[in-house]
Chains A and B, each alone.
Chain A
C-alpha cells in the first residue's frame, strides 16, 4: 500500500506539485492529468528518482521518504520501455532478482506471453513485446507497488486496447498495487479500478474516468481561454 502525503515540488519558480497527496490500496489506481501537470514528477518522487521539496512517502507502513530508489522495493515501468539493449530479454527480466531470491519468474513470463522472445535482444522486439518485457522486468522482483508512467505512449489505439486488458489480468492475478499514470481517461478505464486526477499540482480522487475526463477537459478549456 502507498501513502504519499503533502508532496511539494517546484522547479525554479514553477510550482509543479502543491500538497499533493494520494493513497493506493490493493488496487490499480489511475492518476490522470494533462501533459505537464506534474504526474510523472509525482510518480518519480514516489520511486525515489526525484527528491521532493517537502512531503512523505510511505510504502507498506514503511516511511521511505529518505531512501534511494534501490531500497524502496518499487517496480517502475517508464514511458519508453527502456530495456537494457546489451542484454537479452531474459537477462532484462531477471535483472532485479538478487541471488538469494527464489522467484518463479516463468509465471510472469508466461502470463505476459514473452516466453518465445526470451532469447532475443530488445531491438528485435516489436513495440508490444517491448512493453510486455518492460512490465515483466518490473514485476519479477515482486515489488510492493508498481509505478507505471504512461508505458504505452506512442502505441496505436488498437494495440493499446489489446494489451491493456492483458496487463490488467496479470496485475490482478499477481495482486500487486499499481499507480498508473496517463493523460488518457479511456486508457485508464481499460486498466484501473479507481481514478484520481492531477490538476494545478494537486491530486483529487474522482469516481469515474468520465468524471476525470470532464475535469481535465474543462481545465484545458480554461487554460486556453486565459
Chain B
C-alpha cells in the first residue's frame, strides 16, 4: 500500500472541508460590514447574552457533572447512577430542535404558566437552560474520564485515614481533578457558545433580550445583511480559536497530572 495514502486523502479533505470554509468567512469580511456591526447595539447585546449565558450554563454543567462523577466513582451500581448514565449522552444524539421543544414543553405555559403568558420560555434564563442541556454531556464525560484516570489507592488511603466518600471526594478527588474540571468547563462553554437550535426554540430570537451570537448571524443572513452576518461570524471564529487555544495550552498539564 502506498505509504502516502493518508496524506493523499487527509490533507486535501481537511483543508477543503475545515480550513477553506473558515478562510471563506475571513476573506468575505468587509470594512462596511465591520463598521455597521460594531455600532449595532443588538450585536453587542447578543455578545453579552452569549457570554453570560454560556458562562452560567458551563458553570451549571460542571456542578451537575461533579455530582454525576461522584456517583460514577462511588456508587456505580446505584439506580441513580444507572438512570443518569442512560440519559447522560442523550443530548449529544438528540436533534437540538427536539431538545428545544422538550424544554419548551417542560418549562412553558402549561407547567410554568404562573410566571407569565409563555411560562419561563423566551427569557435569558431559559437560554441558559437550553445551553446547559446541550453542554452538560460534554462536561460530564470530561469529569468522568478525570475520575477514571485517578490512582484508586489515593482514595483508599484517604478513606483509611478517616474520610467518608463525600469528604474524600471534596478534599482529595476534586482538587486532583482540577484540570479535568477546567477542561469540562471550557468544553461546556464552547458547546454553549455554538448552540443555536435549542436556544431559538426555547428562548426565541429577540434582539436585545434573548438573541445570542448564533441567532444574530442567522437573523442577519435571513434579512440579507451578509456583511454584518460575516463580521459576527468571524467574531465567533475568533472566540472559538481563543477557547481552543486555552484548551490546547492546558491539556498537556492535564495529561501530566
Q: Which residues of A contact B156 (CB under 8 A)?
A: 44, 47, 49, 69, 76, 78, 82
Asked whether, in the complex, the Cβ of A85 is within 8 Å of the Cβ of B157, the reply is no
From B151, B157, B162, B164, residue with most partner A Cβ within 10 Å: B157
Q: Which of B153, B160, B172 is the one whose CB lies under 8 Å from A72?
A: B160
B254 to chain A, nearest CB (A): 13
Q: Is the Cβ of A68 less than 8 Å from the Cβ of B164?
A: yes
Whether A75 sits at the interface, judged by CB under 8 Å, is yes
Interface of B is mostly: helix
CB distance from A71 to the nearest CB of B (A): 8
Q: Are B162 and A141 touching (Cβ within 8 A)? A: yes
CB of A80 within 8 Å of the partner chain:
yes
B153 and A80 contact, CB distance less than 8 A: yes
Compute how far the CA of A79 lies from the CA of B159 in the bound complex, rounded to whole angstroms. Answer: 16
- Give the distance in Å from the alpha carbon of A178 to the alpha carbon of B115 in the complex: 65
User: Which residues of chain B have C-beta atoms less than 8 A from A72's C-beta?
Assistant: 160
Name the A residues within 8 Å of B172 (CB-CB): 84
Residue-by-residue, is A76-96 near B (CB-CB < 8 Å gives 1, otherwise 0)? 101110101110000000011
CB B194 to nearest CB in A, in angstroms, measures 33
Q: Does B159 lie within 8 Å of A82, measured CB to CB?
A: no
Q: Tell me the minimal C-beta distance from A68 to chain B in angstroms.
A: 7
Contact B160 A95 (CB under 8 A): no
Residue contact A84 to B158, C-beta cutoff 8 Å: yes
A95 near B153 with CB under 8 A, answer no
Inter-subunit contact B160/A75 (CB<8 Å): yes
Instruction: Find chain A residues with CB under 8 A from B154 CB.
Output: 82, 84
Of the candidates B161, B164, B257, the one whose C-beta lies within 8 Å of that of A96 is B161
| Count of residues in A whose CB is under 8 Å from the partner chain | 27
Is A86 a contact of B157 with CB atoms below 8 Å? no
How far in angstroms is the closest Cβ of chain B from A196?
22
B176: interface (CB < 8 Å): yes
0/1 string, B161-186, CB within 8 A of A gives 1: 11110000000100110000000000
Question: Which A18-53 residues sit within 8 Å CB-CB of chain B?
Answer: 44, 47-49
* Contact present for A137 and B151 (CB under 8 Å): no
| CB neighbours of A44 from chain B (8 A) | 156
Is the pair A49, B161 in contact by a Cβ cutoff of 8 Å? no
Residue of A nearest to B154 (CB): A82
In the complex, whether A98 has a CB less than 8 A from a CB of chain B is yes
What is the chain A residue whose CB lies nearest that of B168? A70
Q: Are A86 and B161 in contact (CB under 8 A)?
A: no
Residues of A near B153 (CB, < 8 A) are: 78-80, 82
**Complex Cα spacing A98 to B176, Å:** 22
Within the assembled complex, what's the spacing in Å between the Cα atoms of A47 and B152? 14
By beta carbon, the residue of chain B nearest A86 is B175
Complex contact A141–B161 (CB within 8 A): yes
- Tell me whether B157 and A82 are in contact (CB under 8 A): yes
Residue of A nearest to B156 (CB): A49
Smallest distance from the beta carbon of B95 to chain A beta carbons, Å?
40
Q: Find chain A residues with CB under 8 A from B257 CB.
A: 85
Interface residue from A47, A70, A75, A85 paired with B176 (Cβ < 8 Å): A85
Q: Decide if B175 touches A69 in the complex (CB within 8 Å).
A: no
What is the distance, in angstroms, from A64's C-beta to the closest C-beta of chain B?
12
Distance of A47 Cα from B156 Cα, bound (Å): 9
CA of A78 to CA of B157 in the docked complex: distance in angstroms?
8
Question: What is the bound-complex CA distance between A79 and B176, given in angstroms?
Answer: 19
- What residues on A are CB-neighbors of B176 within 8 Å? 84-86
Complex CA–CA separation, A212 to B159 (angstroms): 32
28 A-B pairs whose Cβ atoms sit less than 8 Å apart in the complex: A44-B156, A47-B156, A48-B160, A49-B156, A49-B159, A49-B160, A68-B164, A69-B160, A70-B159, A70-B162, A70-B163, A74-B160, A76-B156, A76-B157, A76-B160, A78-B153, A78-B157, A80-B153, A82-B153, A82-B157, A84-B176, A85-B176, A85-B257, A98-B162, A137-B157, A138-B160, A141-B162, A143-B160
Beyond known contacts A134-B157, A138-B157: 19 more, CB 8 A cutoff: A49-B156, A49-B160, A69-B156, A70-B160, A70-B163, A74-B160, A78-B157, A79-B153, A80-B153, A82-B157, A84-B154, A84-B158, A85-B176, A86-B175, A86-B176, A96-B160, A96-B161, A137-B161, A147-B160
On A, residues with C-beta under 8 Å from B are 44, 47-49, 68-70, 72, 74-76, 78-80, 82, 84-86, 95-96, 98, 134, 137-138, 141, 143, 147
